[in-house]
Amino acid sequence: MVKMFFFTAAVAAMALGTGNSALAAGDAKAGETVFKKCAVCHDTKAGKHKIGPSLAGVTGTKAGSAKGYRFSPATMKSGITWTDENLDKYLENPRKLISGNRMAFAGLRSKKERDDVIAFLKTLK
C-alpha cells in the first residue's frame, strides 16, 4: 500500500512538472504576433538586416556574431550566448543586460510575451 502511494505521488509530480515546463516554454504562434513590436527593426530572414540585425537562427549564438551587421562594442564584448535565460533577460531590459548597447527598445515587461517571443525565435532558421 505504501509503495503504491509513493508511485502515485511520483507519477503526479512528473505530470505536474511536465505541464509547468510546457507553459514556461511559450507559444510560438503568440510570439509571432508579439514579434511585430520587434519587426520594425529586426527581420526574420537570414542575413537581412534592418536597423537591428536579422534574428534568424539567433538562439544559441554568441551576441554580436551575425555576419554583415555592425554591432556596438558593448554587444561585441559581452560574451553572452543567446540562451533562453539570456534572451529573457535581454528582452525584459536590453540596457540592463548589456549596458551601452544600441538597442533603443525599452523591453517587454510581460514574462508571457517574452516566453512567447523566445519560442517564436526558436522557429527561425
Domains: count for the chain: 1
Domain assignment present for 52: yes
Q: Which residues of 27-51 are buried (b: 16+ CB within 10 A; e: fewer)?
A: bbebbbebbeebeeebbbeeeebee
pLDDT at 7 over 80: no
CB atoms within 10 A of CB 72: 15
pLDDT of residue 102: 94
Mean pLDDT of all residues in the chain? 86
Average pLDDT for residues 39-49, to the nearest whole number? 97
Decide which of 31 and 24 is more confident: 31
Q: How confident is the model at residue 64 (pLDDT cuts 50, 70, 90)?
A: very high
Domain assignment present for 70: yes
pLDDT of residue 25: 86
Domain assignment present for 18: no
Adjacent-strand bridge partners of 62: 81
Domain assignment present for 9: no
Retrieve residue 77's grid coordinates.
Answer: 564584448
The whole domain housing 64 covers 26-123
Domain assignment present for 15: no
Interatomic CA distance for residues 92 and 107, integer angstroms? 5
Domain assignment present for 85: yes
Please, what is the end-to-end C-alpha distance for the chain in angstroms? 52
pTM for the model: 0.80
Q: Each residue of 67-113: pLDDT tens digit?
A: 999 999 999 999 999 999 999 999 999 999 999 999 999 999 999 99
Q: Domain holding 96: CATH number? A: 1.10.760.10
The single-letter code of the amino acid at 25 is A
Retrieve residue 97's grid coordinates.
Answer: 543586460
Domain assignment present for 77: yes
Domain assignment present for 94: yes
Phi, psi of 55 (to 5 degrees): -105, 10
What length is written for the chain?
125
